[in-house]
Structure 1
């Protein structure tokens, strides 16, 4: 599991629901607020979001992503990517990523998972029966391949690192893509991260920013999400069909 996924999974232990947003004092507006406080209402907001994401029978989400690459000289370069994720039930998934350095497609139909490079016209298919969460976890563990936006499947499923959280603050309301969101800020050893969540009974993540503190350049990862929770998706979207010139190649395990 990647550091980003461990970060997300660790913080969603269930707590009671609260109408916290209206009566919480924004951290940015209160200079006397303690520097390291774990606000249970903030953790609760994450829990609600994770529960809602797992309750969706199907969804489609696009993300505009930027991430910093640090050169040996210490200079930061900002890279860009766009991703799409379509999910139907617990066993069907399509994902795509277009970045400055690569183009990838992923197809999962409940029994087989295919990674395809449209530019190179290479594809590789492995047997992966079971749920989406199990398939993407195995793909990363055995082959070192990460599915775009895979953290969305793992919110709230691992409480083993909850003690790593040293700060959880409510920053205040914020508009993201025209939606009213609650801005949350967190800290744990080696990283700061921020999450904007829609202020709704059906909360969705609007934006995520992760700052790595272990690098002197403090590189950042940022994703802005656009959701469709009632998409029309063709069942054929989840099974890869090779086209003319596409070549099958074996997928080698990362340990080999």
Structure 2
């Protein structure tokens, strides 16, 4: 069967290419994260266009993969726009230093909440108070969360690989409930080329993958990221998640 043969070939290739797993933290892998974080924090504005895939696990355990795109525009310290587009749904998220707004163009509804003064605090409020996870939010805040190192249980350098024509070093990390991999461009820029996140809570181990394309040279004005509701859009109330629901996430 072609699928079986392809799966066996992939398994054989992985067995030959992948280093043996070991419960160790390689200093070079952590150092690479630090260098990437420092590079991200120097960016005052940037745009990232990403090709993303997401696994959905059916009741019988079968995984179904969906594709889409994710575009981020950021003007630090207090503005961003995120557009997540796929065949199944589209969501837009805006932050202008005063309000966070989430908008569904296909449904024609939007909702907002009063936001704190920085991107990091706004992302935290969206997640903890309203259950809204902003995709690839780590790109906004990497390097500002000092607990990341404490959560890493394993870290390894895999090998250099080519991602859309770029030579990137592949690193793999393990935490208590999630495995994640990052490919970092090996050109002095130290920007991530690709990110893969694998849930270890679900036995099917679904993955989220994003291949990133950066524009760090074109200035982005804060005013261009503000939300302007279309004439036919309707505002609805945004609901806070209760403490019990938040504690289970």
TM-score bracket, normalised by the shorter chain, equals 0.7 to 0.9
- Specify which of 173, 184, 203 is matched with residue 171 of structure 2: 184
- Cross-structure match for 2:65: 78
- Specify which of 187, 203, 216 is matched with residue 200 of structure 1: 187
1:246 aligns with 2:233: yes
| Corresponding residue SS for 2:223 | helix
Q: Deviations over 1:186-220 (max 9, x none)?
A: 22334332110011332101111122233332222
In the TM superposition, residue 231 of structure 1 has moved relative to its aligned partner by 2.0
- Computed over aligned residues only, the root mean square deviation of the Cα atoms, in angstroms, reads 2.2
Note the residue ranges of structure 2 that are not aligned, 5 or more in a row. Answer: 1-14, 244-249
Taking the aligned partners of 1:34 and 1:151, their CA distance within structure 2 comes to: 26
- Cross-structure match for 2:9: none
Taking the aligned partners of 1:83 and 1:40, their CA distance within structure 2 comes to: 32
In the TM superposition, residue 152 of structure 1 has moved relative to its aligned partner by 1.1
| Corresponding residue SS for 2:153 | strand
Q: What TM-score results when the alignment is normalised by the length of structure 2?
A: 0.84
1:230 aligns with 2:217: yes
In the TM superposition, residue 30 of structure 1 has moved relative to its aligned partner by 8.6
Note the residue ranges of structure 1 that are not aligned, 5 or more in a row. Answer: 1-26
1:115 aligns with 2:102: yes
- Cross-structure match for 2:247: none
Taking the aligned partners of 1:112 and 1:160, their CA distance within structure 2 comes to: 27
Task: Give the number of aligned pairs.
Answer: 229
Contact 2:50 2:213 in 1 (8 A): yes
Alignment of 1:41-190 (within 5 A): 41-160=28-147, 162-190=149-177
In the TM superposition, residue 233 of structure 1 has moved relative to its aligned partner by 3.1
Contact 1:182 1:198 in 2 (8 A): yes
Q: What TM-score results when the alignment is normalised by the length of structure 1?
A: 0.82
In the TM superposition, residue 177 of structure 1 has moved relative to its aligned partner by 1.1
